[in-house]
Structure 1
Amino acid sequence: MTVESACEFFAGEAPIMRSLDVLRAIGLGYLRLGQPATELSGGEAQRIKLATELQRAQRGDTLYILDEPTTGLHPSDADRLLEQLHGLVDAGNTVILVEHDMRVAAQSDWLIDVGPGAGDEGGKIVAEGVPEAVARRAQSRTARYLRDALSLED
């Protein structure tokens, strides 16, 4: 049974629905209940951990660090995940993402662009600030892609 099917089956069971609703909200409705962790992708495993955290009573003042949480997600599922992450921030938590999806970066409160290139060519802060400011930094290789995501003119 998938998470989505289980939501229909357990619709009247509040304690069970609490867990299932979180899994569905972060785009994991297609997973099978009891699916072995060895069959999950890295992103799915990371989102399972996040779902576990989201089920707890929110106290605020918690730091969440996620590495490319939207990798492999359909854009609509990524949007669902971002809603949950925004909810964490709204509840007084801090969320730090390592992310290459400029659609996600464009929704950030603050960006730190590390570069100027990858590997040995990187490791320095090239730009930082709100997305619109980073998108205008000439030394940032990320800027033009961020401008596209923000629909800004060159």
Structure 2
Amino acid sequence: MTFPNFDLTTIAGESTTLSEVSDRVTMVVNVASKCGFTPQYEALQELQNTYQKRGFTVLGFPCNLFMMQEPGGAEQIVEFCSATYGVDFPLFEKTHVNGRAQHPLYAELVKTPDASGKAGRVKWNFEKFVIGPDGDVHRFRSRTAPDDPAIIALIEEGVNAKLEVA
């Protein structure tokens, strides 16, 4: 299956598409700087550091829909992420992950059920979607740490399969 391509806007206001990373294992995460799960930025950056040269990337989508936990503008978000967690993975403009203004990327992602078989709305910040180079999507709710063994196994499987094809 090929995951659909989507137009995206980086946090710096530049246009790009999901096709830029379509050959990589990608983790899409809705992030926020004032959330109880915000420390997950550290593990997300560790994953980026560990696997980026092997064909993996994290994509962070700041979201202010859950109790206004991402109130800052683009510059404040970048400064916070960089200074506090050393984030260098791609960040995008603030994104609606639910509701009438839901980004088409998230409209597609939320069709994927989680481990308990439930699809639908994003429930909170730091919900993770791992997309393989084959377009296969796996969903992990906020309480699942980015470095959870199930996520690591998916990343390893995806980057190893990519290496076998090359």
TM interval, shorter chain, is under 0.3
Bigger helix fraction: 1
TM-score relative to the length of structure 2: 0.24
Larger radius of gyration: 1
Greater RCO, CA 8 A, separation 6+? 2
Query: TM-score, structure 1 length as denominator?
Result: 0.26
